[in-house]
A = this chain, B = another copy of it.
């Protein structure tokens, strides 16, 4: 799969990551303003989960396509799809 990867979920993943970016910016401001650590930790936890969720959505969508490609493809392409499948699932 060396062609550009454009999956259905990408606009949704980008939207989530942009929200996470804004959220992260506000967490940095909270720390700089000396807000209580419990509140900062809670917000930082939410950012971490949001990034992880976006990552899993991206991987899940990719794996779905990977497996479809592997089924229809034969020989070397199938091998490559399966290698890529193994590579990406490391990041789940």
Contact = CB atoms under 8 A, between A and B. Distances in A.
Grouping DSSP codes into helix (H, G, I), strand (E, B) and loop, the A interface class, with mixed when no group exceeds half, is helix
B20 A24 contact: yes
A71 interface: no
B18 A21 contact: no
Given A45-B91, A47-B51, A52-B48, A28 B37 contact: no
5 contacts: A13-B31, A21-B28, A41-B58, A45-B91, A48-B55
* Shortest Cβ-Cβ A-B pairs, 9 listed: A4-B34, A37-B62, A45-B91, A44-B55, A41-B91, A48-B51, A5-B37, A38-B88, A48-B52
Interface of A: 1-2, 4-7, 10, 13-14, 17-18, 20-21, 24-25, 27-28, 31-38, 40-42, 44-45, 47-48, 51-52, 54-55, 58-59, 62, 84, 87-88, 91
